[in-house]
Amino acid sequence: MRYEGAIYRPPSEARSLIIQLTIGCARNTCTFCSMFKDKKFRIRPLEDVIEDLETAREYYKNVKVRRVFLADGDALIVKTEDLLCIINKINELFPEVERISAYGAPADVLGKTVDELKQLRQAGLEMVYMGAESGDDEVLTRIKKGVTAEEIIKAGQKLKKSGIITSVTFISGLGGSERLNEHALNTAYVINKMNPEYVGFLTLMLESGTELYEQVRRGEFRLLELDDIITELKVLIENIDSPGTVFRSNHASNYVPLKGTFNEDRDEMLKDLREVMESGSYKPEKFRGL
Ligand code: SF4
């Protein structure tokens, strides 16, 4: 197996075999993101990926590979016929595999038909992680996400129609204090329209070298205070109406670890949030991470 540069994967893929279908991120414009800034985007040749899979099988000949994660930033940009070829190869080499998943940018999901997505699902692509970041168009423009809230909704609905499990990520604090309400309310709206299986709500942490970090340094963008972060989370939770969606804000970056299933756990989550506010038992800054 050959890996190029730093490899990123969702926390739930910690035990997965990771295979790079692409190198970097095709867009690479988001102002808060530092993940692939040092990589020039390209799609890897199919034969190189297949060679990596064969090497992995040899390496893990006595290990059952239950999960495979397709990296880097947006594996769904790869042509459907090539993706099918890779997924079929994974099934052939790792008959024990239980889950194949990938990152999928909203624009790449929109670039595929529902029929193509269904073919991918039937072949074995079980789950797609989609970074939406915000449901507010103004925030999406400011962070240079390159898609609108409506496009994110359409992408989520397409995945749902195809039967692919969707895990969507949003980021607390991206609207700053200026658009706190819009960020929370419009994010809830987008979630309600998509009704995804999973929602992850991370908290903004900035690394030096990113455009947003420089905006903060120059005083052009103000990071949220802790109280504002809690208010934003409260507004979001109060406005989500998405039965069955598993909600998690228990990432290393979050101050308040919350987890529950909508709509039945909404009151419980709000109660937990109130208790944390009253007791002030937030995760200390030094224990936060990306
Ligand atoms: S957040 Fe996602 S789409 Fe945006 S630059 Fe980073 S990897 Fe690319």
Q: Ligand 1 within 6 A of 121 CB?
A: no
Confidence of residue 231 (pLDDT cuts 50, 70, 90): very high
- C-alpha distances (whole Å) from 63 to each of 13, 56, 91 are 17, 10, 15
In order of 24, 55, 134, 149, 240, the CA distances from 153 in angstroms are 24, 39, 11, 6, 14
Q: In this structure, is residue 5 part of a structural domain?
A: no
Task: Give yes or no for residue 212 CB within 6 A of ligand 1.
Answer: no
Return the pLDDT at 4: 92
287 lies in some domain: no
Atom nearest to 133 CA in ligand 1: 1
Q: Is residue 55 part of a domain?
A: yes
Per-residue pLDDT, averaged over 206-218, amounts to 93
Flag whether 289 is in a domain: no
31 pocket-lining for ligand 1 (C-beta < 6 Å): no
Tens-place pLDDT, residues 134-166: 999 999 999 999 999 999 999 999 999 999 999
CA 242 to ligand 1 center in whole angstroms: 26
Q: How far is the CA of 93 from the centre of ligand 1 (A)?
A: 31
In a domain, residue 70? The reply is: yes
Range of the domain at 85: 11-278
**92 and 41 Cβ atoms separated by less than 8 Å:** no
Cα 10 to Cα 245: distance, rounded to the nearest angstrom: 18
Give the domain CATH number at 272.
3.20.20.70
Q: What pLDDT is recorded for position 280? A: 77
CB 77 near ligand 1, within 6 Å: no
- Testing ligand 1's pocket by substitution, the residue of 31, 32, 33, 41 carrying the most ligand atoms inside 8 A of its CB is 33
Cβ–Cβ under 8 Å, residues 245 and 237: no
What whole-number percentage of the chain has pLDDT above 90? Answer: 83
Number of domains making up the chain: 1
The answer as to whether 246 is a domain residue is: yes
Residue at 3 is within a domain: no
State if residue 106 touches ligand 1 by the CB under 6 angstroms criterion: no
- 160, 138, 158, 159: which is closest to 149 by C-alpha? 138
The token duo for 212 is 């947003």
Distance (Å) from CA 73 to ligand 1 centroid? 7
The predicted pLDDT at position 281 comes to 76
> Residue 2 domain-assigned?
no
